[in-house]
Chains A and B, each alone.
Chain A
Amino acid sequence: MKQGNIKIDSISKSFDGVEVLKNISFEIKGGEFFSILGGSGCGKTTLLRMIAGFIEADGGAIYLGNEEITHLSPNKRDVNTIFQTYALFPHLTIYENIAFPLRLKKIKDAEIDREVKKYLEMVKLSEHANKYSSQLSGGQKQRVAIARALINKPKVLLLDEPLSALDAKLRQHMLIELDNIHEEVGITFVFVTHDQQEALSVSDRIAVMKDGEVLQIGTPSEIYESPANAYIADFIGETNFIEGEVVEVEDEFGYMESPNYGRIKFELDKDVVVGNHVKLTIRPEKVKVSKSKPRYLDDNDNIFKGKIEEMIYSGFQSKFFVTVEDKLFSAFKQHVDFFEEDAETIHWKDEVYVIWDSADSFLLEVM
């Protein structure tokens, strides 16, 4: 196994009597781009700061490789952090900021110079070496922080919501850059974020946290396509939920009777028996909306009628919100063709058919 693997073993932590981390255990593989995703107050930052050494666990242990680091002080850990505010040193030049960890080690000037120049090159800041952080843009500051954290050649790089201070365009750009740097240095990245898009786009694996617990760990597509529960389905992207009682079970498919949508066919992702109460999730982009009833309907298709309540046109796609009974159901349509020339333009208050393939839904909960 590559080095730089982290083992979190039954970690717990309370602040002022409030449990922030509840007996958490999981492993991060060496060289992995691992994201910890969750809303504010879920404990993700606490966990990250614990790996960095700024917070001591109440119970449990943390291992880096084969070494237990639970009680080591931050300067003794082979781990470096990119802080949310970057925490660059304003009294030092960019060059000296990056040289800081090496100066502490009392390395010879010539060697420091060689290393700093190499890392300045890597983050494309060579011509800014003698500037101060106050003279840099947000993205440049971010890159200084990356170079400064990597120059020590840590086994693990911790990133604490590093993109939250950047605007949307720059965020995309930095994500790609982070991904490239990860590829280049090959060490473990632990990336804490509340932004599911960020997590989905760069991670090898994601841990979703809520209220101090890890709800699910998996690849981005696993988390998105087969969420462990309704909270994750809702948190990661947008989705529709359908609840009802199972009335019939076949080999691979089941049928349920939903108070709002009638008889719904669904794939059996979990074992169910007739009489179970179940909850399905169906992603809006997998749902089609049509003004006229399609001439050909597949045996697996679910269909029901509703009324367009709201339409949001956003260039590459339109979001339709359809009312069925008193429930809102959402469907996203990608505009591959010109919207204006779309044969069948849908208007507000139109009666429409909502259709999806029963294999595209995911069975979340059986109660």
Chain B
Amino acid sequence: MKNQRSGLVYSAPITLWLTLLFVVPTLIVIVYSFLKKGTYGGVEWIFSANGYNFFSSSYFLKVVWNTVEISVAATVITVLIAIPVALYIATSKYKNFLLFLIIVPFWTNFLIRIYSWIALLGNNGLLNKLFIKLGLEPHQFLYNKSAVILVSVYAYLPYAILPLYSAIEKFDFAMIDAARDLGASKMTAYSKTFLPNIKPGIITATLFTFIPALGSYAIPKLVGGNNSQMLGNIIARELTITRNWPKAAAISTILTIVTVAFIFTLSKYDKDHKGGDV
């Protein structure tokens, strides 16, 4: 009993913090989504579900599709790259140095890092200058879905590598030997022992990539084109240009629900078939 009470006391600051900075703002967004839009932005305190009428818009559905497509592609590619990279780092002699290299990009502002991709791949970028020098046709790399996916993979890769690294570091590689010894080929040994044992790392890496990707704003804004706009961009437009706050709030609410549902499903999957600690 005493322990439970002191637990409440100790968790009070973080509970307060989360309530004030996450729960309350989210509630405000949800409430705003059910209000009437003000003429010049803002809301009028009259109930209205008009914010949610976007489902009939084909443009909106297109953006939803873009968002899902780009996020899924970016996540799959990121995790597929992150697993071998994390495996390499975890088994390397120079793991501390390599981990340091993974963290180095965080020292530069996110936006600047996106802009540097423009400097690299833009129409007058480094790569195109090289193409011209080599006598090749210049190519428009940016302002399409692939560019958004590429830069997203770049941006979220460290977030995927780090949890995978910590899962792989705990993995006992004698298990690979054991599986081989018991008759498994190299591929089978990895898929039957390595992958299931780093599953928590894979799930965390997926969450850490997919969730920020769903809410992307800056990346599609800067390197995407008209056909690769994502929900984040629409929310911003409704808020600042069209000035339809209830609609922006409604899209945000839907996005929040999807994200929470996703986290919930994956973390439940993580707990399934789990037999005690590794």
Which A residues form the contact surface with B (CB < 8 A)?
52-54, 73-75, 79-81, 83-85, 87-93, 100-101, 104-105, 131-132, 134-135, 148-149, 152
**Are B174 and A85 in touch, CB under 8 angstroms?**
yes
**Are B273 and A87 in touch, CB under 8 angstroms?**
no
**Are B182 and A148 in touch, CB under 8 angstroms?**
yes
**Are A81 and B277 in touch, CB under 8 angstroms?**
no
Residue among B178, B196, B199 with max Cβ neighbours from chain A (10 Å): B178
**Are B183 and A105 in touch, CB under 8 angstroms?**
yes
Q: List 30 A-B contacts (CB under 8 A).
A: A53-B181, A54-B177, A54-B180, A73-B180, A73-B186, A74-B181, A75-B182, A75-B183, A75-B184, A81-B178, A83-B174, A83-B178, A85-B174, A87-B172, A87-B177, A89-B192, A90-B197, A90-B275, A90-B276, A90-B277, A90-B278, A91-B197, A91-B199, A92-B275, A93-B275, A101-B182, A104-B183, A131-B275, A135-B275, A149-B182
Bound form: Cα–Cα A100–B181 in Å? 11
- When distances are taken between beta carbons in the complex, the residues of chain A under 8 Å from B188 are 104
Q: Is B193 positioned at the interface, with any CB of A under 8 Å from its CB?
A: yes
Bound form: Cα–Cα A199–B188 in Å? 35
- In the complex formed, the residue of A with least CB distance to B278 is A90
**Are A85 and B196 in touch, CB under 8 angstroms?**
no
- When distances are taken between beta carbons in the complex, the residues of chain B under 8 Å from A79 are 181
Bound form: Cα–Cα A135–B276 in Å? 7
Bound form: Cα–Cα A152–B180 in Å? 13
Given contacts A79-B181, A87-B178, A134-B277, 4 further A-B contacts (CB under 8 A): A84-B174, A89-B178, A93-B275, A148-B178
Q: Give the size of the chain B interface in residues (CB under 8 angstroms).
A: 24
**Are B182 and A80 in touch, CB under 8 angstroms?**
yes
**Are B276 and A89 in touch, CB under 8 angstroms?**
no
Q: Is B179 positioned at the interface, with any CB of A under 8 Å from its CB?
A: yes
Which B residues form the contact surface with A (CB < 8 A)?
172, 174-175, 177-186, 188, 192-193, 196-197, 199, 273, 275-278
Bound form: Cα–Cα A111–B250 in Å? 58
Bound form: Cα–Cα A132–B278 in Å? 10
- Report which of A54, A91, A131 forms a contact with B273, defined as CB distance below 8 A: A91
**Are B181 and A134 in touch, CB under 8 angstroms?**
no
- When distances are taken between beta carbons in the complex, the residues of chain B under 8 Å from A105 are 183
Residue among A83, A87, A100, A131 with max Cβ neighbours from chain B (10 Å): A87
Summed over the interface, the residue pairs from A and B with CB atoms below 8 Å come to a total of 82
- In the complex formed, the residue of B with least CB distance to A76 is B183
Bound form: Cα–Cα A87–B177 in Å? 8
**Are A87 and B174 in touch, CB under 8 angstroms?**
yes
- When distances are taken between beta carbons in the complex, the residues of chain A under 8 Å from B197 are 89-91
Bound form: Cα–Cα A144–B158 in Å? 39
Smallest distance from the beta carbon of A64 to chain B beta carbons, Å? Answer: 14
- Report which of A52, A53, A87, A104 forms a contact with B184, defined as CB distance below 8 A: A104
Bound form: Cα–Cα A73–B275 in Å? 31
- When distances are taken between beta carbons in the complex, the residues of chain A under 8 Å from B185 are 73, 75
**Are A100 and B278 in touch, CB under 8 angstroms?**
no
**Are B275 and A87 in touch, CB under 8 angstroms?**
no
- When distances are taken between beta carbons in the complex, the residues of chain A under 8 Å from B186 are 73
Q: Which 3 A-B pairs have the closest CB atoms?
A: A132-B275, A87-B178, A87-B174
- In the complex formed, the residue of B with least CB distance to A52 is B181
- When distances are taken between beta carbons in the complex, the residues of chain A under 8 Å from B183 are 75, 101, 104-105, 152
- When distances are taken between beta carbons in the complex, the residues of chain B under 8 Å from A148 are 178, 182
Bound form: Cα–Cα A341–B197 in Å? 62
- When distances are taken between beta carbons in the complex, the residues of chain B under 8 Å from A80 are 181-182
Bound form: Cα–Cα A101–B182 in Å? 5
- When distances are taken between beta carbons in the complex, the residues of chain A under 8 Å from B199 are 91
- In the complex formed, the residue of B with least CB distance to A131 is B275
- When distances are taken between beta carbons in the complex, the residues of chain B under 8 Å from A132 are 275-276
Given A91-B196, A134-B278, A135-B276, A85-B172 contact (CB < 8 Å): yes
Bound form: Cα–Cα A134–B197 in Å? 13
- Report which of B177, B180, B181, B193 forms a contact with A89, defined as CB distance below 8 A: B193
- When distances are taken between beta carbons in the complex, the residues of chain B under 8 Å from A149 are 181-182
- Report which of B180, B193, B277 forms a contact with A75, defined as CB distance below 8 A: B180
- When distances are taken between beta carbons in the complex, the residues of chain B under 8 Å from A81 are 177-178, 181
- When distances are taken between beta carbons in the complex, the residues of chain B under 8 Å from A54 are 177, 180
Given A85-B172, A87-B172, A104-B188, A74-B180 contact (CB < 8 Å): yes
- When distances are taken between beta carbons in the complex, the residues of chain A under 8 Å from B175 are 87, 89
Smallest distance from the beta carbon of B196 to chain A beta carbons, Å? Answer: 4
**Are B275 and A91 in touch, CB under 8 angstroms?**
yes
- When distances are taken between beta carbons in the complex, the residues of chain A under 8 Å from B182 are 75, 80, 100-101, 104, 148-149, 152
Smallest distance from the beta carbon of B263 to chain A beta carbons, Å? Answer: 22
- When distances are taken between beta carbons in the complex, the residues of chain A under 8 Å from B277 are 90, 134
Smallest distance from the beta carbon of B168 to chain A beta carbons, Å? Answer: 14
Bound form: Cα–Cα A90–B252 in Å? 41
- In the complex formed, the residue of A with least CB distance to B188 is A104
Residue among A73, A74, A148, A149 with max Cβ neighbours from chain B (10 Å): A74
- In the complex formed, the residue of A with least CB distance to B180 is A74
- When distances are taken between beta carbons in the complex, the residues of chain B under 8 Å from A135 are 275-276
Bound form: Cα–Cα A134–B172 in Å? 14
Residue among B177, B185, B199 with max Cβ neighbours from chain A (10 Å): B177
Smallest distance from the beta carbon of A97 to chain B beta carbons, Å? Answer: 9
Smallest distance from the beta carbon of A94 to chain B beta carbons, Å? Answer: 10
Smallest distance from the beta carbon of A75 to chain B beta carbons, Å? Answer: 5
Smallest distance from the beta carbon of A92 to chain B beta carbons, Å? Answer: 8
Bound form: Cα–Cα A72–B246 in Å? 68
Bound form: Cα–Cα A92–B275 in Å? 8
